[in-house]
Amino acid sequence: MHKRAFHEAVRRTRWELGRWGWWSYGGNEEQILSDLISAELDYAIMGRIYGKITGPWVIRNKIRNQVLKTIDTFVSAGVSPAWKAMEAAVKEVRPKIEPQIAQVADPLGQLKGEILDKMKNGALSIINPMLDEHVIPHLGKILEVIKSPFTECFDECFNMYQAQLDEFKKDHGNLADYQKGFKRLDYFPRSWNMWPATRKLDVMYDPLWLLHEIFTDIHPWSLIWTAHDDVKHMMDNAIYTFEQEIETAMTAEADKLKSDANHAAQTIDMAKAKTLETFRADATIATNEFYCKIMKAIVMPPFNALVIPACKALLDPLNDMIPEPMKQFVDILEMFDELVNGIIDGAIERVVSSV
């Protein structure tokens, strides 16, 4: 819970600063906080200074790198003791807070319900017009861009999966050395062999980039590469499912399968038929999930950039409704975030389900 809350806080801090889009980070919490602060200083302040530096690019870049190194040193020196003090405070407060949780659980649920109702009553009149203007008109266009590539990608995946199982049967049909065949299957989703399927998604780049005029934070290659990983993961799951079917059969009747080639072939065919059916059903579900995932990644950052400032005046009074002992458990911004996410998800799902 602590780790999840920390990463959620990082995301919200960046959004509050107006830093939308992707940001990769790593290391321990002190390092992440230091990087976050240094990046904000570099973006908000140092950019204006760099613009006044003259001379060749190599010299200017060297100066910038040296400045960043100095900033990182100062920031880290400040973050480290501050974070340690926060950790100490949490450890001291936690034993006092935890016994109170059970006592306030029911009133807490009631309070959150009341706040959510007030939030909906006040926010929907602001959110819905923005949704109609900035999101709904574009969802259908985005779906048109990504629908055909994903359909072709999954068709190719299905054919490739079927071909791999046929190869397995051809080379290991008696199941005497089926583990060797599993190694080849396991390698397939992680290899260049997936390219005939994943390349079907690459054609999305140009039409997605055209949406940059509307959604300035869009990163087509990032979306496409993430989709590559998701498709490979699904293929990996399908192969694992087939292997589990074979393993289950071997556990039940290993001697017969190894000695009776016809029975082994029938077992492989049954496992293949079962997993192909599951693969096709899962592909339908996964396709819709990918549609929703990509569409949300495109529309959510700019929509949040509009909605959060517009609703800030509404959220501040709601925070005053929370009794002091409960403020440790009720997060207005989190509730608002869930509300907005639910609205966006609903809008996207309606578009996807209508196809």
Output the DSSP codes for 25-60.
Answer: --S-HHHHHHHHHHHHHIIIIIHHHHTT--S-HHHH
CB 139 within 8 A of CB 346: no
Q: Is the pLDDT of residue 203 over 70?
A: yes
Average pLDDT over residues 179-191: 86
Residues 93, 306: Cα–Cα separation, whole Å? 37
Residues 267, 301: Cα–Cα separation, whole Å? 50
Burial of residue 347 (CB within 10 Å: 0-12, 13-18, 19+) is buried
- pLDDT value of position 162: 92
Residues 159, 85: Cα–Cα separation, whole Å? 58
Average pLDDT over residues 37-65: 81
Residues 242, 295: Cα–Cα separation, whole Å? 32
User: What confidence tier does 284 reach under pLDDT thresholds 50, 70, 90?
Assistant: confident
Token pair for 191: 């290899």
Amino acid identity of residue 324, one-letter, is E
Q: Spell out the residues 6+ positions from residue 274 whose beta carbon is closer than 8 angstroms to its own.
A: 245
Least confident of 33-47, 160-174, 230-244, 310-324: 310-324
- The model's pTM: 0.60
**N-to-C CA span, the chain:** 38
Sign, CA torsion 168/170/173/174: negative
Q: Spell out the residues 6+ positions from residue 288 whose beta carbon is closer than 8 angstroms to its own.
A: 352, 353
- pLDDT value of position 22: 63
User: What confidence tier does 268 reach under pLDDT thresholds 50, 70, 90?
Assistant: confident
Distances (CA, A) of 21 to 24, 215, 305: 10, 11, 11
User: What confidence tier does 196 reach under pLDDT thresholds 50, 70, 90?
Assistant: very high
Residues 282, 158: Cα–Cα separation, whole Å? 11
CB 344 within 8 A of CB 300: yes
CB 282 within 8 A of CB 288: no
Number of H helices, E strands in the chain: 11, 0
Q: Phi and psi of 323, rounded to 5°?
A: -60, 150
